[in-house]
Amino acid sequence: MLTIASRLDVMNRLGRAMADPTRSRILLLLLQGPRYPGDLARELGLSRSNVSNHLACLRDCGIIVVEHQGRKTRYEIVDAHLSRALNTLVETTLAVDEEAPCVDPKCTVAGCCEGQAAQQ
C-alpha cells in the first residue's frame, strides 16, 4: 500500500523527470516502444552522451529500466501501468491562456513563451 510519503515521492520523481523538455521527448519516444540510446540520440538530434545523461536521470527516478543485450543496452518504461498513465496524461487537454505572460523569464520550453517574446 502506498503511503502519503511514498505517493509524494512518486509525484516528485515524475515531476523531476518531466520537467526537462529533453527527458519529456525521450519519454514520448519510449511510450512508442523500447529504444537504444544511439537511436534516441539520432531521432532527437542530440549527442549520445546528452541522451545517456537524461536516461540515467529517468532510470534513477524509477521511470525506465535498462535491459542489457550483450554489448548493447535497451531502455523502456518500467511497466505497463506507468505507460498507460503517461499516455493518459499526454492526451489530457489543458486550459492554457495564451495571452498570459510566462511566469519564468528564462523559460526554454518550446511553444510556451514564443508568443510573448514576439510581443516584447
> Helix, strand, coil shares of the chain as percentages rounded to 5?
55, 10, 35
Determine the Cα–Cα distance for residues 107 and 73; give it in Å rounded to an integer.
33
Contact between 67 and 77 under an 8 Å Cβ cutoff? The reply is no
Query: In the chain, what are the domains?
Result: 4-93 (1.10.10.10)
Per-residue pLDDT at 119? 40
What's the start-to-end Cα distance of the chain, in Å? 51
Per-residue pLDDT at 116? 46
pLDDT in tens, the chain (120 residues): 556 668 888 889 899 899 999 999 999 999 999 999 999 999 999 999 999 999 999 999 899 999 999 999 999 999 999 999 999 988 887 777 777 777 777 777 666 665 444 444
Contact between 76 and 64 under an 8 Å Cβ cutoff? The reply is yes
